[in-house]
Structure 1
């Protein structure tokens, strides 16, 4: 009997051991299942980023632009050809209607008349002389590729014949001549402005411009073009950049963002080390729109602290923690577009059949509701918008954060990261209630930095810090010109023509918002809206990427 009891005890112990082992295996199985689910999420997100559309719209546009079949995809045989009408007729026909997609009204017109010779004017019936009844007109748009020519500036030098005969000293006078953009160089204002806009606005690297010039029979090396950009930027664009920075720091609302840039020859750093291009810009309601880029070797918070020294107000940023050290005089405003983006990623991380009902979809709907309300407030004054936000938007955000706090999720999952980001950023995301001029997103900064990001895909890297700094200044001038409704090429050309002949205390007359800028620098819409206030500026209107190895 005692032996049976011992055997029973042994069996109980073995059973307990098996139960404990089974419990451990169950826990291990659950851990492995969570890990597999996490890896599946990562795989789906990776595939989505690599192959799917980058758009975050709730209803994706099914229309896709195909690079090689663009002509076939974009053509519309039913669309009527654009016409070049008389100004009076075109303007009358537009009243109450929308502006046509193709508009050639403001283009210069050249008239070619084809007439019969005297011998050909004899009537085939009676032999009498025929007279001109009228013209059957056909209008065409002619595009002339860029032409290059050498302009010789010959400065007249004058001496006195009488002094030559009678005196030992002969006075010399010289005719006035415009100062060159770069002394001892063949560079002109138009050539430098063209190279700048091609590289920094159209994304054409200098080596491609070199090849393009070569096909036209022009030998202009990328090294020469790089030297022109570096010297012109240092001598003439930096002073304007500093003036624009001073104006930017006087604002009450700013936006900031940063993106990567690769610079090869940085002292003491490997060529593949990441550097950063920082962006700072004014808000929607600024009277003097400014967009400034700044190159820095790192992403350290010391850079915005130094650049924004003297600024007092609200700063729109993303969730980067480095902006949190700016000081009490700067109040940060969070970005709801980044919150929405993380929930959008959460939707893409789950299987397609589960996406319509997943928790991330609920978070996305809250964000969409918030952006929809902002579209409804678009035409309100800032004060009216502030009141509406407190009445309507606050209820949405309160419900959103209550939902976020009560939604369970694995910390490392896409949903978990989205929920954590929203809760962590909550104080910054609710800042927009304070002022109707504030935005609910940092999209203005992201739109302004986009031309640099697109250009980077073409020229890939900068070779030196000096080139990266010059690129930042040129991007700043071009993007600020666009914000002020200027033609970048014409404005750059005007800067380079006039600054060498302008005293430093008059540089403020060349800034992008100056009333003294000539009409040919401005887009037509801006010229029309300011014609009554700025007619005098038309009187003095003239007709008048750094080297891939130095960028």
Structure 2
């Protein structure tokens, strides 16, 4: 074996071996509205005295922030109702009234129902997972009970839903679309049967209203019922089920560019390779329309209308 020392890489080679350090982007500050808890870190007593014998003085401080999350706190509210009786006469005892409950004779307080609905519908957490979350705190509430609470909460929120629908139908622009939904264990229906969720969106731009309605049918009677009394612009796809409601007086149906664009994309795929056809021309014009809308995203209504008349209308004429 050779006794010569192993060759060492040059400085340039060594620099190449070191992995480049990625620059981290600027971190956003934590929201100012969050409560702050100050934790003071001071020098130990033996470091407060200088080597010369004098006491050190505070001349400044360094501050850093760290996010803290307090885990879910679970407690039991005991409602104690005092009962009074007169010891002089034989009048019947009187018990203090209990505050009205959202669900009478239920373990669920308003805070439990609020968290249940938030985790299910805003966070997309199924009931069986919420059941496990409670079990970690030693609380045994079966998902059947949780499901019943969800249904009862929906019934309690019906007045709010009615107000939202009124506001939806008042505004002169409404979007409607339906999407397939499969429901398991639905009474009287095959588990493979297709159901539908009808989504309606509208209302003022600063306070949008979005409503979901479940049906087992996709028939045109559904949008006729959901949009009964509506007058204004109705944005849908080309599904024929909207034809009846769109034919009503006072409703102007708007088509969707995203759906129309798909057909040109399909046509583009079957064009001969290397050839430019009408599908490419149409997609180019539609993309220009989308670009105009991106430019107008932060403008007000009057500016957007003027820009559409000046820039978008010629593109639409050319596309037609």
Range class of TM-score, shorter chain: 0.7 to 0.9
Summarize deviations over 1:503-547 as a string: whole Å, max 9, x none: xxxxxxxxxxxxxxxxxxxxxxxxxxxxxxxxxxxxxxxxxxxxx
Q: Tell me whether 1:324 sits opposite 2:243 in the alignment.
A: yes
Local SS of the residue matching 2:293: helix
Summarize deviations over 1:136-189 as a string: whole Å, max 9, x none: 4442323325323123233341525xx22x1110552527x6433322222122
Aligned to 2:265: 344
Local SS of the residue matching 1:249: helix
2-structure distance, mates of 1:148, 1:288: 32
Summarize deviations over 1:393-443 as a string: whole Å, max 9, x none: 333222212xxxxxxxxxxxxxxxxxxxxxxxxxxxxxxxxxxxxxxxxxx
2-structure distance, mates of 1:104, 1:287: 23
**CA deviation after TM superposition for structure 1 residue 325, in Å:** 0.6
Local SS of the residue matching 1:280: strand
Aligned to 1:243: 163
Given candidates 69, 78, 95, the residue that maps to 1:153 is 78
Given candidates 270, 277, 289, the residue that maps to 1:370 is 289
With over 3 angstroms needed to count, the CA separation of the structure-2 counterparts of 1:78 and 1:263, relative to structure 1, is closer
Q: Tell me whether 1:256 sits opposite 2:256 in the alignment.
A: no
Summarize deviations over 1:334-392 as a string: whole Å, max 9, x none: 111211222233334557x537x343221101111222333444455545544544444
With over 3 angstroms needed to count, the CA separation of the structure-2 counterparts of 1:132 and 1:375, relative to structure 1, is same
Local SS of the residue matching 1:315: strand
Given candidates 157, 168, 173, the residue that maps to 2:90 is 168
Aligned to 2:279: 360
With over 3 angstroms needed to count, the CA separation of the structure-2 counterparts of 1:366 and 1:126, relative to structure 1, is closer
Given candidates 14, 18, 25, the residue that maps to 1:79 is 25
The answer as to whether partners of 1:275 and 1:298 remain within 8 angstroms in 2 is yes
**CA deviation after TM superposition for structure 1 residue 216, in Å:** 4.9
Summarize deviations over 1:68-118 as a string: whole Å, max 9, x none: xxxxxxx954334x4xxxxxxxxxxxxxxxxxx44432221111224568x
Summarize deviations over 1:460-506 as a string: whole Å, max 9, x none: xxxxxxxxxxxxxxxxxxxxxxxxxxxxxxxxxxxxxxxxxxxxxxx
The answer as to whether partners of 1:274 and 1:297 remain within 8 angstroms in 2 is yes
Q: Tell me whether 1:143 sits opposite 2:68 in the alignment.
A: yes
- Give the total of aligned pairs: 298
1-structure distance, mates of 2:251, 2:221: 14
2-structure distance, mates of 1:220, 1:139: 42
Q: Tell me whether 1:398 sits opposite 2:317 in the alignment.
A: yes
Aligned to 1:529: none
1-structure distance, mates of 2:48, 2:274: 84
The answer as to whether partners of 2:74 and 2:137 remain within 8 angstroms in 1 is no
The answer as to whether partners of 2:48 and 2:56 remain within 8 angstroms in 1 is no
Larger proportion of helix: 1
Aligned to 2:13: none
Q: Tell me whether 1:183 sits opposite 2:104 in the alignment.
A: yes
Aligned to 1:281: 201
Q: Tell me whether 1:314 sits opposite 2:233 in the alignment.
A: yes
Aligned to 1:443: none
2-structure distance, mates of 1:190, 1:373: 46
State TM-score, norm by structure 2: 0.79
With over 3 angstroms needed to count, the CA separation of the structure-2 counterparts of 1:169 and 1:142, relative to structure 1, is same
Aligned to 1:296: 215
Higher relative contact order (CA 8 A, sep 6+): 1
Aligned to 2:33: 106
Given candidates 143, 151, 171, the residue that maps to 1:222 is 143
Aligned to 1:333: 254
2-structure distance, mates of 1:125, 1:217: 57
1-structure distance, mates of 2:237, 2:48: 80
Once superposed, which parts of structure 1, at least 4 consecutive aligned residues long, lie more than 6 Å away? Answer: none
Larger proportion of strand: 2
The answer as to whether partners of 2:201 and 2:210 remain within 8 angstroms in 1 is yes
Unaligned runs of 5+ in 2: 1-20
2-structure distance, mates of 1:146, 1:191: 15
